[in-house]
Amino acid sequence: MKYELRENQGISVPLLALMAVATGLSVANCYYNQPLLGSMAKDFAVNDFSASMVATLTQIGYVTGLVFVIPLGDLVSRKKLILTNYIISSCALLAIALAPNIYWVWGASLLAGASSVMPQFFIPLVSYYSLPAHKVRNVGIIQSCLLIGILGSRVFSGVLADVWGWRSVYFVACLFMLGCFLMIHKMLPALSTCSRENYAGLMKSLLRLLSQYPYLRIASLRAALAYGSFFALWSCLAFRMKQEPFFASDDIIGALGLCGLAGASTVVFISGYVQKYGARFFSIAGGCVVLAAWILAFWGSDSYLWIIIAILLIICRIRLA
């Protein structure tokens, strides 16, 4: 059954639920690998650097998709674009599951990241079509599922890999993407384009925004550095947990994602003070928090307690980036 969508006329509960679930499952593709890097290194007999490139290339692919794929939503049918991305991501995840060597995983991870940008279509769609009174609530639901997908994916992949091996994670993820494809094809109506510019014009408009708004450049750089710290933590953590004194299995490494969910929950409390103290105060405080977190992680690298505290601090900062 396809649901009709009109500007500010509301979104049905089933369709909103579908987009929320699809958002979490889609973004999870970029984070399944982080608890599995140690197992991949062992399976392919490669060093830690080669294995960590899996996570790096996935994020490079994701950024590539944000920059070059998302603007296409103003030129071609967004439904067709979303469905195409689901097919590509399904193929990429299957390729990772069947990979004969680490180089195969690198290429497929780059493609998986680039084709996992569907949440960036769903968030503006929900904002555009929701009733004015429900816009904040509905966008909040989608963003909450985005966060659950980012952090919960590590727990899921760690537990599944510990039982059936790391390749099983990507087989299941492939099935998730095919399921999303079928449900989106069935329920999401055709969506018209909204721009008369060509692709080159849209790309130039991004550069104009960066050149015209200095604060946008500063905010982008600050967020990039904060997220870089976040990804560095999780990429290194998989290897550290495999060493003494931990010798942790994939499920234990993945379970550290639960700490991330706990850290993210503090945003509800802290965000209430942003308006009182100002964004600049929290930007400076956030930088100090990240620095303190890395010092704790270095100083207490042999202790679960200090590592968990470092995760909580960094996650708390990232949610306010």
Helices (H), 165-303: 166-187, 199-212, 214-240, 250-255, 257-270, 274-277, 279-299
Instruction: Round to whole Å and give the CA distance between 151 and 31.
Output: 8
> Is cis: bond before 245, omega within 30 of 0?
yes
What are 47-99's pLDDT values in tens digits? 988 998 999 999 999 999 998 998 888 888 888 999 999 999 999 999 999 99
- Dist. CA 193–CA 77, nearest whole Å: 6
Sign, CA torsion 141/234/121/188: negative
Q: Cβ(107)–Cβ(53) under 8 Å?
A: no
- Could you tell me the CA-to-CA distances from 135 to 60, 156, 202, 236 in Å, in that order? 31, 30, 26, 38
64 contacts 32 by C-beta, under 8 angstroms: no
Mean pLDDT across the stretch 6-35? 88
Query: Could you tell me which of 289, 286, 292, 281 has the C-alpha nearest to residue 320?
Result: 286
Rounded CA gap, 191 and 76, in Å? 9
Residue 85 has which token pair? Answer: 């991305």
What's residue 30's pLDDT? 94
Between these two residues, 148 and 262, which has the higher pLDDT value? 148
Residue 70 · residue 60 · CB < 8 Å: no
Q: Would you state the structure tokens that stand for residue 287, as one six-digit string?
A: 């930088």
Nearest of 101, 91, 145, 100 to residue 123 by alpha carbon: 145
Q: Which residue has the tokens 């990240």?
A: 290
Sequence-separated (6 or more) residues with CB below 8 Å from residue 99 = 105, 108
- CA torsion sign for 124, 129, 133, 139 is negative
Mean pLDDT, residues 169-193 taken together? 91
Residue 154 CA to residue 241 CA, distance in Å, equals 14
**Cα(52)–Cα(57) distance, integer angstroms:** 9
* CA–CA dist 268, 5 (Å, integer): 31
- Residue pointed to by tokens 């503090």: 266
Q: Which residue has the higher pLDDT, 102 or 254?
A: 102
Most confident region among 63-72, 162-171, 243-252 by mean pLDDT: 162-171
User: pLDDT of 211-246, one tens digit each?
Assistant: 888 888 887 887 788 777 777 777 777 778 877 888
Determine if the pTM surpasses 0.85: no
pLDDT (0 to 100) of residue 265: 58
